[in-house]
Amino acid sequence: MLTVLLGLLLLVAVGNAFVMVRAAVRQQAWPRAEALVLGAVANFLDTLGIGSMAPTMAWFKFRKLVPDHLIPQTMITGLTLPTMVEGLIFLSLLGVGVDPVLLVGSILAFLAGGWVGLPLIARARAWVVQGVVGLALLIAAVFFLLSNLDLMPVGGTATSLPPGLTILAIAASFGFGVLINFGVGNYAPTLAMLSLMGLDPRLCFPIMAASASFAAAGIATHHIRAGKIDLRIPVAMVLAGIPAVLVAAYVVKSLPLEPLRWLVSVVIIYTGIVMLRSAAASRKSAVTAPAAT
């Protein structure tokens, strides 16, 4: 089963890379230097356990690199291929220790949720996207703070869960898949949920990375073909992100991350509040414009 998953993930990664390269060549989307740095830093930290979505969203908003309503689409497109490399690494190193029912069930449920949520982000108004992204940032900050205060569940040593908890975990994966379309990463909620259920926290990594990889590949391909995002940013993030993942996984392996989590928490909280204020202002404008007309 593990060999099949690795083979499928590799094929999907090659397909996603082909779609991106072809679109980038057609659009002459040369990588932006700032996005190269962002891709390297975000994916390096993601491999070590910080997460990449919340810091990337915060930087997009802080630097105004991307229009607010296109932040989730641009971010997912830029982080997908590096995340797939993470998925290949974590599945190879730790996948053999995970209950195959939990692993495959979580991947399929997350994939289904990702496709169900795809039309929602396409139809959502700008202020809705801004509001969801703002809330996602604040939720991510809470997880960062809990981790720094040693309140995040440490988990157990189990490699599998009882049937009832397995079904619950798979069902929750579907919900996480829907939310990824709005930029809500699955790293923190999946780690917290499975750890509370008693699973070995190390075994959460192949579940998280593989689930995000399969779902994000289809989502990113859709956004590339839709042609609404500036490909110069995701192309740069991919080019710098993949080497960063390999360096983090095989060379650095671990770092003292607590001070960095505090810094990231402050930045994310500030950006989340700014994003929510933007959402409120956008909603007010949307409501008052028809009345004025």
Tell me the pTM: 0.84
Assess whether pLDDT exceeds 70 at residue 98.
yes
Query: How confident is the model at residue 97, as a pLDDT?
Result: 86
pLDDT value at residue 153: 61
For residues 22 and 62, the model is more confident at 22
N residues, the chain: 293
Would you say 36 and 239 are in contact if contact means Cβ atoms under 8 Å apart?
A: yes
Q: Taking 70 as the threshold, does the pLDDT of residue 155 lie above it?
A: no
Nearest to 181 by CA among 92, 253, 91, 111: 111
Q: 184 pLDDT band (50/70/90 cuts)? A: confident
**CA–CA dist 77, 229 (Å, integer):** 9
The least confident of 65-69, 81-85, 184-188, 195-199 is 184-188
Instruction: Give the three-class secondary structure for 158.
Output: strand
Concatenating the DSSP letter of every residue in 234-265 gives: HHHHHHHHHHHHHHIIIII-----HHHHHHHH
Domain residue ranges of the chain, discontinuous segments joined by +: 29-284
- If phi > 0 it is left, if psi is from -120 to 50 it is alpha, else beta; for residue 115 that is alpha
Q: 62 falls in which pLDDT band (50, 70, 90)?
A: confident
**Measured between alpha carbons, how far is 226 from 221 in angstroms, rounded to an integer?**
9
Q: Residue 290: what pLDDT? A: 55
